[in-house]
């Protein structure tokens, strides 16, 4: 693909190092947490579960792009504090989504990774701004984006000077109504063939239903994904966003153990499941 001047794979694949976590290396990185940050207690419980599961990164949305203007839009700066405090207590890294220049400015320097979501994959001004940072960026594939469009969106960030880009396949919109989106695992292989950037998978947004998440997560690891971005909520029934696709803590822990076994079977590893704190 001639238009990929910086993302094109010429030899090996890149590793993104964030403190002591490496994305794109031999280990499959587990990222977990709720779709939206709701309270300090919620984030504390989520962080404890992620840590216990061997996860390395705590996710939580503080600015939420919602289809309906009447849905919960996030806690903003207050939620950012809950996310950071919970992660620090469990020695986890943090990731949260940005929507525009204002939210990018708000989280810059406050989180370890920023996420640009599917709705903003082709928000070129936001991509350019992210390119000026040194903060790693998770770039999700758009709802109906081709792999080429996805990689060219990443090229915007790389061209701005930020080489720390992580691609995330999260399902695309198709004619199939039985899932929220259709997880395109072929896109993981194609992206890894065409570019050197790490590729992770979000099975939660693809499934839309928590009972399907484990199967999609394990398929992603078998298919070569460098990490998993999974929604988990201490009490999904009370979640203000995406409760139906959020795993319970118990389900998250069970899946982490299965992923560890599967990763070893395909010649990779994950962080060993930590002992429960007493």
Specify the pairing of strand 21-23 against strand 16-18: antiparallel
**Residue 273 maps to a domain:** no
**Residue 230 maps to a domain:** yes
Query: How large is the average pLDDT for residues 216-245?
Result: 97
Query: How large is the average pLDDT for residues 179-188?
Result: 98
Nearest Cα neighbor of 165 from 151, 184, 175, 179 is 151
- Angstrom distance (rounded) from CA 82 to CA 165: 25
- For residue 172, what are the domain limits? 16-262
Nearest Cα neighbor of 259 from 199, 219, 203 is 219
**Residue 146 maps to a domain:** yes
Q: Which stretches of 66-184 are DSSP H helices? A: 77-89, 101-107, 124-131, 147-159
Taken in order 202, 207, 209, 214, the sign of the CA dihedral is: negative
**Residue 39 maps to a domain:** yes
Query: Residue 274: pLDDT band by 50, 70, 90 thresholds?
Result: very low
Q: What is the pLDDT of residues 70-83, one digit of tens each?
A: 999 999 999 999 99
| Whole-number pLDDT of residue 272 | 55
3-state DSSP percent of the chain in helix, strand and coil, to 5: 40, 20, 45
Count up the domains in the chain and report the number: 1
Query: Residue 36: pLDDT band by 50, 70, 90 thresholds?
Result: very high
Q: What is the pLDDT of residues 146-182, one digit of tens each?
A: 999 999 999 999 999 999 999 999 999 999 999 999 9
**Residue 236 maps to a domain:** yes
CATH of residue 41's domain is 3.20.20.70
| Whole-number pLDDT of residue 10 | 87
| Whole-number pLDDT of residue 271 | 61
**Residue 275 maps to a domain:** no
- Angstrom distance (rounded) from CA 188 to CA 194: 10
β-strand partners of 228? 30, 201
pTM of the model: 0.96
| Whole-number pLDDT of residue 11 | 85
**Residue 229 maps to a domain:** yes
**Residue 6 maps to a domain:** no
From residue 222, alpha-carbon distances to 7, 45, 201 in Å are: 24, 29, 12
| Whole-number pLDDT of residue 278 | 37
């Amino acid at each position: 693909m001639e238009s990929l001047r910086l993302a094109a794979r010429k030899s090996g694949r890149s590793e993104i190092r964030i403190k002591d976590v490496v994305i794109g290396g031999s280990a499959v990185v587990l990222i977990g947490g709720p779709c939206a940050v709701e309270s300090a207690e919620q984030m504390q419980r989520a962080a404890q579960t992620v840590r216990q599961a061997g996860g390395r990164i705590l996710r939580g949305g503080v600015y939420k792009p919602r289809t309906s203007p009447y849905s919960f839009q996030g806690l903003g700066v207050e939620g950012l504090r809950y996310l950071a405090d919970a992660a620090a207590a469990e020695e986890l890294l943090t990731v949260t989504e940005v929507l525009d220049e204002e939210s990018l400015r708000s989280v810059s320097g406050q989180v370890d990774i920023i996420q640009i979501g599917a709705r903003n994959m082709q928000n070129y001004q936001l991509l350019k701004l992210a390119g000026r940072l040194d903060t790693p960026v998770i770039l999700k594939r758009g709802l109906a984006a081709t792999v080429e469009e996805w990689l060219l969106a990443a090229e915007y960030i790389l061209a701005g000077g930020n080489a720390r880009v992580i691609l995330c396949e999260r399902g695309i919109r198709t004619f199939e109504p039985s899932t929220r989106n259709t997880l395109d695992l072929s896109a993981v292989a194609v992206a890894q063939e065409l570019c050197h950037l790490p590729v992770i998978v979000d099975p939660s947004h693809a499934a839309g239903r928590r009972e399907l998440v484990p199967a999609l997560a394990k398929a992603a690891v078998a298919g070569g994904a460098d990490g998993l971005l999974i929604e988990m909520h201490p009490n999904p029934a009370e979640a203000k966003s995406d409760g139906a696709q959020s795993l319970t803590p118990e389900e998250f822990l069970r899946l982490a153990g299965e992923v560890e076994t599967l990763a070893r079977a395909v010649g990779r590893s994950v962080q060993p499941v930590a002992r429960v704190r007493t």
